[in-house]
């Protein structure tokens, strides 16, 4: 079982890789819409990648209003 | 011999018994009047093509996915300047035309395959559901987000999904508005084959090559036997959609969507 810290780090790594951001430039408290400059369709892509990576289902409504990596990781953690 | 067509929103090419229909309208193949007109021309070609066609593959070149659904901006702006009665009459006419197109795809005597990647939402999902097989890459997502607008899906999605997979999945997707990923869609039987990211078209072509080996008469008879079109429910769907569309809440929701700067406006 992953810890929340591990989950958060994996979320950050996945976002950095997919959106071509240098590793280590993303922090748990960052607003991923602003930091990554993504729109709703790209957010959906990220959701799919996270679901595939963690082998979970994360309904859209559970991430509604979520914009920082830390809260996103907490939502994922509750589904692991 | 090759036959081709190129429209404003899509193009198709026939070669060696296989039609490839490519959706290509920015940003994500939203279905409005231009797409409808191009699709009508496409299905009008069926009588000339069907005897020499085994498979039709429908796919998208747009980066974000197969199709994000109906063109809500066109719907909103088209209705905003009209009376309720006039706008409902236009919506009904549009729905009757798109139903005719999707019924033609649904009942085509050749096999139809939707090769899906990325978003496959609303009307795009309904287009895929008219096809016999859905082959999806692992990044595909499927949703009926219409309830966020105070509407139901209007392109035949509910009757077709109910026909194919049953009422429980319809309720899950319709009443929550959530999107499901490709793995889940395969698990429930919606997606017939999962492909690696970006490989849905290649897998669809491989499947088409297999299908072309079979006898055309038996294939058409099998399809007609196992895939009846739910005409009564489709007509009822149009009636319910138009009834809901008369409400001011729908125009308010459409306006909110088209003017939204929310980073995730597709969410209910």
Q: What is the CATH number of domain A4-77?
A: 1.10.1200.10
Domain ranges of chain A: 4-77
Interface test with B, best of A33, A34, A41 (most B CBs within 10 A): A41
Residues 119-148 of B with CB under 8 A from A: 119, 138-141, 143
Q: What is the Cβ-side half-sphere exposure of residue B103, based on CA atoms within 13 angstroms?
A: 14
Chain B touched by A68 (CB under 8 Å): no
- C-alpha separations of A50 from B6, B152, B233 in Å: 37, 29, 37
**What chain B residue is nearest to A50 in terms of C-alpha separation?**
B139
Pick B2-258's CATH classification: 3.90.226.10, 3.40.309.10, 3.20.20.210, 1.20.1250.10: 3.90.226.10
Backbone φ/ψ region at A31: left (φ over 0), alpha (ψ -120 to 50), beta: beta
Residues of chain A in contact with residue B179, where contact means CB-CB under 8 angstroms, are 44, 47, 60
How distant is the alpha carbon of residue B253 from its chain centre? Answer: 22
User: CA B67, CA B128: separation in Å to the nearest integer?
Assistant: 9
The pLDDT profile of chain B, 268 residues, written as one tens digit per residue, is: 669 999 999 999 999 999 999 999 999 999 999 999 999 999 999 999 999 999 999 999 999 999 999 999 999 999 988 998 999 999 999 999 999 999 999 999 999 999 999 999 999 999 999 999 999 999 999 999 999 899 999 999 999 999 999 899 999 999 999 999 999 999 999 999 999 999 999 999 999 999 999 999 999 999 999 999 999 999 999 999 999 999 999 999 999 888 886 655 655 4
The pTM assigned to this predicted structure is 0.94
Domain-wise residue ranges, chain B: 2-258
Could you tell me how many CB contacts below 8 A there are between chain A and chain B?
Answer: 60
* Alpha helices, H only, chain A: 4-18, 32-36, 40-54, 69-77
Would you call A43 and B264 a contact, using CB atoms and an 8 Å cutoff? Answer: yes
Q: Which residues of A touch B26 (CB under 8 A)?
A: none
């Amino acid at each position: 079982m992953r810890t929340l810290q591990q989950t958060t780090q994996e979320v950050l790594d996945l976002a950095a890789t997919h959106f071509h951001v240098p590793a280590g430039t993303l922090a748990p408290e960052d607003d991923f819409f602003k930091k990554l400059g993504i729109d709703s369709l790209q957010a959906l892509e990220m959701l799919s990648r996270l679901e595939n990576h963690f082998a979970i289902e994360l309904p859209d409504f559970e991430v509604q209003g979520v914009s920082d990596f830390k809260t996103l990781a907490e939502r994922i953690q509750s589904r692991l | 011999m090759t036959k081709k067509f190129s429209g404003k929103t899509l193009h198709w090419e026939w070669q060696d018994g296989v039609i490839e229909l490519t959706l290509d309208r920015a940003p994500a193949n939203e279905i409005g009047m231009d797409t409808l007109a191009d699709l009508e021309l496409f299905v009008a070609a069926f009588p000339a093509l069907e005897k020499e066609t085994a498979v039709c593959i429908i796919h998208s070149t747009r980066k974000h996915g197969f199709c994000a659904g109906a063109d809500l901006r066109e719907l909103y702006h088209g209705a905003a300047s009209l009376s309720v009665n006039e706008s409902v009459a236009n919506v009904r006419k549009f729905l009757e035309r798109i139903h005719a197109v999707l019924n033609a795809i649904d009942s085509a005597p050749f096999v139809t395959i939707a090769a899906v990647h990325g978003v496959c939402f609303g009307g795009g999902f309904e287009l895929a559901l008219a096809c016999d097989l859905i082959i999806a890459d692992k990044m595909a997502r499927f949703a009926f987000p219409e309830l966020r607008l105070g509407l139901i899906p209007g392109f035949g999605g509910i009757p077709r999904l109910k026909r194919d997979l049953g009422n429980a999945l319809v309720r899950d997707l319709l009443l929550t508005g959530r999107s499901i990923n490709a793995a889940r869609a395969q698990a429930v039987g919606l997606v017939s084959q999962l492909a690696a990211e970006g490989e849905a078209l290649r897998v669809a072509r491989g499947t088409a090559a297999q299908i072309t080996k079979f006898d055309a008469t038996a294939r058409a008879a099998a399809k007609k036997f196992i895939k009846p079109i739910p005409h009564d429910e489709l007509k009822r769907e149009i009636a319910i959609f138009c009834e809901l569309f008369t409400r001011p809440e729908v125009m308010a929701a459409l306006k909110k969507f088209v003017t939204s700067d929310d980073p995730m406006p597709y969410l209910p």
